[in-house]
Amino acid sequence: MGKIDADVLITGAGPAGLVLGNLLRAAGIDCLILERQSREHVENRARAGFLAANSVRVLTGNGLADGLLRDGARHDTCAFRTDQAEFELKYGELGTGEVHTVYPQQFLVTDLIAEFLARGGEIRFETEVTSVSGTEATVIADDLLLRAEYIAGCDGQHGVSRQSVPARIFRRDHEISWLAILAEAPPSMSAIGYAIHERGFAGHMARTSTVTRYYLEVPRGEDPAAWPDERIWDELHVRMAAGYHGELKRGPIIERRIVDLGSRVMDTIQRGKLFLAGDAASLISPSAAKGANLALMEAEILAGALVAALEKGDTTALDRYSADCLPRIWRAQEFSHWMINLLHSPPGYGDEALFLRGLRDARLESLRVSRAHQNFFAENYVGI
């Protein structure tokens, strides 16, 4: 086979690849991470920020939570808002009693990179992976051929790893687009805010005491440049009924980008010596904050399986990696789809649009008054 460059080659330095790398290094496994972007880029890329209880357990139990425990904020309440009404769900007091911890992904990635390097790991930034072979356990990166015992494809939905796994692919385009906004402004609500309005959905999610994430539903194909700061704040004011519920705390918009809501599940997520995790394994809409939490779950499962294979020669867990992960992926997808239907309805006033809007209103009312419905929501909102 030739020289082995690492026991495990990992493509991608996102949450999945970095947690996996750290868990492998803690077990003394030699692994190399290959990342297309610069270190500065990945440490400043603002993405998800809501970590589920299981994710916090994975990080804390493996010595990866110093920053999280120091600077993360407990979050246990969400609010559903219409033009004139609002109700809160303290989901931390419902279902299993679990909560989210708010810790921006760029902070977590920065922590994980520093810890991985401290544990003796190597990351090659600005390295382009152009080919991955699960049958040969090889990677071509910057025209160099690298070999390993195993490969973990953690390079996201646009990476080459998932293209190397022949699988049945289940897809859904939800035909909904959000303008994702990062504002240099304090949170305007103590809760996660979901606003349902005839002009489209709007969302409010705190990131830190000085930065807030907002979402606005926009037409497909919208240009973010068409949304200057004043237009964004004016539309948020309308959809979040700020005149009725209280004014929003405004500030400069530091990021605006379009997110097209889509879902993808691959069956299988492994081939030969190649195993997928994170967005390479499945793509999920951001409607229920499941993406990063799925990635950490998969990284933990894959790490244990790789350690057993490399240290004991036992490939039982590796062989069933897809079977272990896919039911959890599908459950997260189901709840994400449920949330999409809760927060959106078709535009217009035709018979179908009005019927679907009536179903949405019924879901909201059931969530407001039914304890059983609230417990279902809480268990699925935080759990994987």
Active site residues: 75, 194, 286, 290, 381
Round to whole Å and give the CA distance between 55 and 18. 13
- Helix (H) / strand (E) element for 180: namely strand 168-183
Alpha-carbon torsion (229, 230, 231, 236), positive or negative: positive
Q: How far does CA 371 lie from the centroid of its chain?
A: 28
List Cα–Cα distances, 196 to 153, 235, 335, in angstroms: 38, 13, 18
Round to whole Å and give the CA distance between 163 and 280. 9
- Helix (H) / strand (E) element for 145: namely strand 144-153
How wide is the angle at C-alpha 273 spanned by C-alphas 269 and 276, nearest 5°? Answer: 30
Round to whole Å and give the CA distance between 80 and 195. 6
Round to whole Å and give the CA distance between 276 and 299. 9
Neighbours of 162 (CB within 10 A): 25
How wide is the angle at C-alpha 339 spanned by C-alphas 215 and 97, nearest 5°? Answer: 105
